[in-house]
Amino acid sequence: MLWKFRVLFNVPIEIGSIVKYIDSRSKDRRGVGEVCGIIGAGENTKYEIYILTKRLQPRMTSDDKYITRKIHSKYCKHIDINKTIVNKKDFELGDIVCYKFLTIKKYGVITGFVHPDGLDTTSYYCGYNGTDLIECVQIDKNNLTRCRDEQSNIKRFTSHKKRLKICEVDLWNEKGANII
């Protein structure tokens, strides 16, 4: 699980509430979502929820539609998002990372995951699984632009999680965007 939350027991779930859920089809699929609809009443209540990422932003499909699921009420728990701890070790597409190895230090944006044996990876839809290699596009530390080589191709690098660290970006710095 990506988060640790404080569960609210005596607060009823309404539209707009943030819930943590377990998918009834497979117990391994867990996540967090925002309730956007309530279907049924009593024991047969189901919640239609928007799936949220680890940054608590709504997940969207490639054609800009929200990803929704219908989850039975017994698999949902109302949570307090003000008491959230995000796990910094979980890599996600779009994260800015720092690569360190011996004296080499590079910055990049995660663009994909590659299985070391060339098999299909589950990291895209289940979250980073820890065994995949992480593919990145190299960026400049000062202005966050992509680095290019002599033939004006974008520089890329692949690394294991041991050599990567997730960085934070200060967008409101006086000199422009800067990696902290």
**Does the residue 91 lie in any domain?**
no
Which residues are 105's β-sheet partners? Answer: 100
**Does the residue 66 lie in any domain?**
yes
Domain range for 136 is: 96-179
137 with 160, same domain: the answer is yes
101 with 82, same domain: the answer is no
68 with 136, same domain: the answer is no
115 with 51, same domain: the answer is no
pLDDT digit of tens for each residue in the chain (180 aa)? 345 667 777 788 888 888 888 877 766 677 888 999 999 888 888 999 998 887 778 888 888 888 888 988 888 888 877 665 555 567 888 889 999 999 999 999 999 999 888 888 888 777 788 888 999 999 998 888 899 999 999 999 999 989 999 888 877 777 777 787
| Count of domains observed in the chain | 2
Q: Which of 36, 61, 86 is the C-terminal boundary of a domain?
A: 86
pTM value surpassing 0.85: no
Quick one: 66 exposed, middle or buried, by C-beta within 10 A (0-12, 13-18, 19+)?
A: middle
Q: Which of 57, 86, 115 is the C-terminal boundary of a domain?
A: 86
Q: What's residue 21's pLDDT?
A: 86
What one-character-per-residue DSSP string does 78-92 give?
EEEEEEEEE-TT---
Token code pair at residue 142 = 């000062």
**Which residues lie below 8 Å from residue 39, measured CB to CB, with a gap of 6+?**
45, 46, 47, 48, 70
Is the separation of the CB atoms in 15 and 35 below 8 Å?
A: yes
Q: How far apart, in whole angstroms, are the C-alpha atoms of residue 8 and residue 90?
A: 26
Is the separation of the CB atoms in 39 and 47 below 8 Å?
A: yes
101 with 163, same domain: the answer is yes
60 with 115, same domain: the answer is no
63 with 43, same domain: the answer is yes
Q: What's residue 2's pLDDT?
A: 46
Q: Which of 61, 86, 111 is the C-terminal boundary of a domain?
A: 86
**Does the residue 44 lie in any domain?**
yes
81 with 44, same domain: the answer is yes
**Does the residue 27 lie in any domain?**
yes
